[in-house]
A and B are shown apart, each in its own frame.
Chain A
Amino acid sequence: MAEIPADPLRIIERFGPHLSAMTGARLSTSVEPDRLVKTHCCFCGQQCGIQLKVRDNEVIGFEPWEEFPFNRGMLCPKGVKRYLQGSHPDRLTTALRRDPSSASGFSSLPYGEAIIRVANEIARIQQTHGPGAIGVLGGASLTTEKTYLLGKFARVCLKTPFIDYNGRLCMVSAGAANKKAFGIDRTTNPWSDMVGTDVIWVAGSNVAECSPITTNYIWQAREQGAKIIVQDPRITPAARTCDLYLPVKPGRDAALFAGVLQIMIERDWLDHAFIDAHTVGFDQVAAYCSEWTLPRTAEVTGVPQRALMLAAEWWGTAKTSFLFHARGIEHHSNGVQNSLGTINLVLASGRIGKPKSGYGTIVGQANGQGGREHGQKCDQLPGWRDISNPEHRQYIAGVWGIDEQELPGPGVDAYELFRKIDRGEIKGLLSICFNPKVSLPDNAFVTRCLEKLEFYAAIDFFLNDTAWHADVVLPGSLHEEDEGTVTQVEGRIIKVNKAVDCPGDAREDWRIIQDIAHAIGRPHGFTFTEPREIFEELRVASKGGVADYSGVTYEKITQQLGVFWPCYSEDPRTGVAIADHPGTPRLFEAGSYNPVARGSGPFYFPDGRARFNVADYRPPVDDASDEYPIYLTTGRVVSQFLSGTQTRRIGPLVKQYPEPRIEMHPRLAAKLGITDGEWATAETRRGTITLKAQVVTTIRPDTIFIPYHWAGRKSANQLTVAAQDPISKIPQYKVCGCRVRKADGPPDYDAVLEPQQ
């Protein structure tokens, strides 16, 4: 491995992103589908039901699936146009090897040879440097079966502790906070519980662009009388019509929650009965919050005192409520504290575990929930078991037919894995559906690390920007080319169904993983012939764990249109086998039983009580300062998804939002002498970017916003800081100090790159 094998423009010329737009053939009324396949969208964590129109082994369109209860046929623009990636000309249909002599930097090689090459290189590196010299990076868009298999592959076949996944960049702060407060990490209620609540608090979540279907639940709740509170530095479409808007300064969320809780304590808007009966630790939290007087909170957060008062009053005096948050408060170096702050508000109100009263974290990626439950996270084994817990290790080793001593210990988070590459401790890397060169912060560092690898193999269906560095690329499968389960935002396990076969030499990802295991010479445990078999083993592996899937079957999912976990195969109280456990739509209901509390209470701790945790406010690392006086925040736009590997290839979606812009308030723009549409340069301690300005009054005047879906010179993550939360290790994407100036003219790239590139 070294630098990328050809001029990036030549690689783009050959492998894209090129646009796929609709063709005349698909528009002819005479083209009728052979069949409709009920499945789910391939993008975000809402996992909307959709029916794909299939003709001649090609997905040619879609038909809404109105019976699916979560979205009732509704789709966002990405869901509508997702079918256009199926027969995309950029699609990888053969294995590739790095070939600097080729103009495009890569040449094809037979699939079998590619597998042998990957296996040989892994074996060579491990023989020289030990098993831990290989790192594995997974993806939270993979089905649960694939993530389970990948975790098993890393630990059993490669015997390396170093596996982590791109969910690390998504919602691990929320997960860690949930675990600290509730002992379990799952949204507590189905979304339908929002309709009928008194108050909905949306903290740091641009639902309209990141999870559009959720807006209908919010709007419907509003029609039924709910007051909507939105906390965001930007007026997002959900904030536009909310009843109370809290224009929080980026990175000050924990302070806001502490200040609001302090008002609730002062006014005694608390549920004392619930706090006494079901929680521990309130006194410490109250002592901490006493420091957060109203004036201080207003000063730190930038939210006026009257708005804080109103928020506390509405939240404190409501009878029912729903609070949810997303990356806006989680993508921080104190993201866990921010999330704990929201949980403290929920616990103090006592409104959890009841109909119309809930708490949730919005999943960003397709399988953000299931993908972190079954073993591709560096510290977890299947069923949410702890890799450091001897009992848990014993159980999983038994399922996998190995000795517990053979199981590696905990690894490191995805960013730390790159630091290990930088230090020369990890020499080889295998990644699947992960594009860290676009999605990790401070991506110049990531590029440097990729250049240091001795060997890198990537599995993906398009040649993403990270795979440019690969020695071997294995052609994986699209969402519609495989079957398996996914767990969506509500904790509902659903079934993705196969619509078409993989083209050319492309293979289902689980087959590729198994092929490597066989070529390495350790096929034991990697002889599954279909995803269903993997799921059957996963059911056993998860049994008795917190994320218990043992009562879930493919048939039950299809029949019930999804099953909420935990779903038991035997009564956890008596151990008597049950076949028809319906799953658990709502957690923590009075009298509910869980294997941790064993009847002591609804929360997943031995005493059955939830934990208040002091949610300590710390200013962000790399905060705005005299030198870098503006806050930079990043996020999504509705027509693009994550690193854009898929959506930047879909013509109509690109047309909708062709390129990133720097969003800024007119006051800031006037100060900088920039007008709407002019080129502006933003600079942080790590890099600079030149994009067109979008001047709007819907953002704080001290803050700029850049969407992050683009690569290379348009990548927002050239600027962001790799500061991580000490507990969850999530990077601080949502704030860093920045300065902005008017650009001298268009950047060099403007003359050569297409908008989507």
Chain B
Amino acid sequence: MAKPDYLHFFIDPNRCIGCQACVQACSECDTHRGESMIHLEYVNRAESVQTVPVVCMHCDQPTCAEVCPADAIKRTGDGVVQSARKPRCIACGNCVVACPFGVPEVYEDRKIMMKCDMCYDRTSVGKKPMCATVCPSQALFFGTREQIEQLRPLSAPVNTFQFGHQTITTQVHIMVPRKLAAVAPHVDVTAAMEEQPRNRAVSLKMVGTPAAAHGTAPVESDPFAEVEV
């Protein structure tokens, strides 16, 4: 069976609380033999509690597969890029170096590259990936575009990324704020303690414009609407 093509994976770093429920849940998956395929990164713990969960982005033209000398990395018809195939993988690490998102990892003890395969054992039989199911802040979400539009009116999914001259489109979407210039969150308590803190601003440069841009009114919706599968 394949993953239904109307279901997508969305990452919203703005929601991430760094709890690592995703990391712990990923390692429960039978296919990974107890290893977690998610990296939970602190962007800079000294200055912020901002964390970002990193899963495989499942590129439409996966660089990891393109650079693989052993042709060990396969993409299924429904767009899920799989871990290296055991009989072919030579654990050379080309994929590790080439992936612009820093996802694949070579497990030296087993001489194989393993990475997130979007819980193919679950998604291909109508379940959600384990990480997105348990994520308590729903920074990881698995569902339809209609659902995400209804649930997240303040942000938009992006799946086109520019790395130098390379443009990459992915099956996994990153949620970004719809406002192009957003006030940065507090990173230092002392700024909040001052009467006139510096006005910090960050600019977000997005590749392509999200389908539904500015000014979408919030809509009434069930925050926990289940995915129909």
Binding site for B on A (CB under 8 A): 22, 24, 26-29, 61-62, 64, 66, 69, 71-77, 79-81, 192, 195-196, 208-209, 212-213, 215-217, 219-220, 222-225, 233-242, 245-247, 302-307, 638-639, 652-653, 656, 665-667, 676, 695-701
Contact = CB atoms under 8 A, between A and B. Distances in A.
A235 B189 contact: yes
Instruction: Please list the 7 inter-chain residue pairs (A to B) with the smallest Cβ-Cβ separation, ordered nearest first.
Output: A208-B17, A212-B136, A220-B223, A237-B17, A697-B188, A77-B24, A80-B24
B147 to A, nearest CB: 12
A600 to B, nearest CB: 35
A73 B128 CA distance: 10
A74 B193 contact: no
A235 B137 contact: no
Contacts of B224: 69, 72, 216
A75 B49 contact: no
A701 B192 CA distance: 12
Question: In this complex, which of A69, A238, A665, A697 has the most chain B Cβ atoms within 10 angstroms of its Cβ?
Answer: A697
A259 B199 CA distance: 26
Contacts of A80: 21, 24-25, 28, 134
A28 B21 CA distance: 22
Given A64-B134, A195-B223, 12 more contacts: A73-B134, A76-B19, A212-B136, A216-B224, A220-B223, A223-B151, A223-B154, A233-B189, A236-B49, A245-B186, A303-B193, A696-B47
Contact of B33 (A27, A209, A234): A27
Contacts of B151: 220, 223
Contact of A215 (B17, B45, B196): B17
B152 A223 contact: yes
B133 A66 contact: yes
Contacts of A638: 17-20
A247 B46 contact: no
Contacts of B51: 237
A223 B153 contact: yes
Nearest to A71: B136
A77 B19 contact: yes
B79 to A, nearest CB: 24
A69 B222 CA distance: 11
Contacts of A235: 48-49, 186-187, 189, 192
Contacts of B25: 75, 80
Contact of B226 (A72, A81, A237, A302): A72
A224 B223 CA distance: 10
A235 B48 CA distance: 8
A638 B187 CA distance: 20
A335 to B, nearest CB: 23
Contacts of A212: 17, 19, 21, 136-137
B90 interface: no
A697 B24 contact: no
B25 to A, nearest CB: 5
B124 interface: no
B20 to A, nearest CB: 5
A26 B28 CA distance: 9
B136 A76 contact: yes
Interface of B: 14-21, 23-25, 27-28, 30-31, 33-34, 45-51, 128, 130, 133-138, 151-155, 185-190, 192-196, 218, 220-221, 223-224, 226
Nearest to B46: A696
Given A247-B189, A307-B192, A216 B137 contact: yes
Contact of A695 (B14, B46, B50): B46
A24 to B, nearest CB: 8
Contacts of B138: 74, 216, 219-220
A664 to B, nearest CB: 11
A407 to B, nearest CB: 44
Given A196-B220, A245-B186, A638-B19, A29 B50 contact: no
B199 to A, nearest CB: 13
Contacts of A225: 218
Contacts of A304: 192-195
A696 B45 contact: yes
A237 B130 CA distance: 22
Given A76-B21, A81-B24, A305-B195, A698 B133 contact: no
21 contacts: A64-B133, A80-B28, A80-B134, A196-B220, A208-B137, A220-B151, A223-B152, A223-B218, A235-B48, A235-B187, A237-B17, A240-B185, A247-B189, A304-B195, A306-B195, A638-B18, A665-B189, A695-B46, A696-B45, A696-B47, A698-B48
Contact of A27 (B34, B128, B133): B34
A726 to B, nearest CB: 31
B135 A61 contact: no
Contacts of B193: 247, 302-304, 700
Nearest to B130: A64
Given A247-B193, A696-B46, A29 B31 contact: yes
A222 B136 contact: no
A583 B17 CA distance: 33
Contacts of B218: 223-225
Contacts of B30: 27-29
